[in-house]
Chains A and B, each alone.
Chain A
Amino acid sequence: MELLFQYIVAGVTYGTIYAIVAIGFNIIYNTTGIINFAQGEFVMLGGMTAFTLKEYMPLPLAIVSAVIITMIIGALIEMLFIRWLHKPSVLRMIIITIGLSILIRETALHIWGEGVTALPYFTGTSLSSVNLGGVFVSPQVFWAVGISSVVVVLLGVFFNFTLLGKQMRACSANREAARLCGISTQNMVTLSFMLSAAIGALGGCIVSPITYIQYDSGSQLAIKGFTVAILGGLGNSTAAVAAAMILGILESFSIWALPAAYKDVVSIAIMLIILFLKPSGLFGNAASARLKEY
Chain B
Amino acid sequence: MLRIDNLVSGYDTLKVIQNVSIQVNPGEIVSIIGANGAGKTTLLKTITGLLRPLSGQIQFDGQDITRTNTEKIVLLGCSLVPEGRQVFAPMTVRENLILGGYVQYKRNQGSVVLKDLARIYKLFPRLMERETQFAGSLSGGEQQMLAIGRAMMARPKLVMMDEPSMGLAPLVIKEIFSIIRMLRDEGATILLVEQNAKAALRLADRGYVLETGKVILEGSADELLENDDVKCAYLGKVKKEM
> CB within 8 Å of B: which residues of A?
163, 166-167, 169-170, 173-174, 176-184, 288, 290-293
Contacts and interface: CB of A to CB of B under 8 A. Distances in A.
Contacts of A293: 89
B34 interface: no
Interface in B54-110: 70-71, 74-75, 79-80, 82, 86-91, 95, 98-100, 102-103, 105-106
Given A177-B86, A182-B106, A166 B134 contact: no
A176 to B, nearest CB: 6
Contacts of A163: 98, 102, 105
Interface in B146-203: 150-151, 154
Contacts of B80: 180
A179 to B, nearest CB: 4
Contact of B90 (A169, A181, A182): A169
B50 interface: yes
Contacts of A291: 89-90, 134, 136-137
Nearest to A185: B71
B70 A179 contact: yes
B48 interface: yes
B13 to A, nearest CB: 16
Contacts of A169: 88, 90-91, 95
Main secondary structure of the interface of A (DSSP, over half): helix
A110 to B, nearest CB: 39
A184 B89 contact: no
A83 to B, nearest CB: 14
B103 A181 contact: yes
A181 B154 contact: yes
B79 A180 contact: yes
Nearest to A293: B89
B102 A181 contact: yes
Contacts of B74: 179-182
7 contacts: A166-B95, A174-B89, A176-B82, A180-B70, A180-B74, A181-B154, A182-B75
Contact of A170 (B48, B99, B134): B99
Contacts of A173: 88-91
Contacts of A180: 48, 50, 70, 74, 79-80, 82, 86, 151
A209 to B, nearest CB: 38
A4 B207 CA distance: 76
Nearest to A169: B91
A129 to B, nearest CB: 43
B60 to A, nearest CB: 14
Contact of B91 (A170, A176, A179): A170
B99 A179 contact: no
A290 to B, nearest CB: 8
B65 to A, nearest CB: 14
A166 to B, nearest CB: 6
Nearest to B89: A291
A1 to B, nearest CB: 43
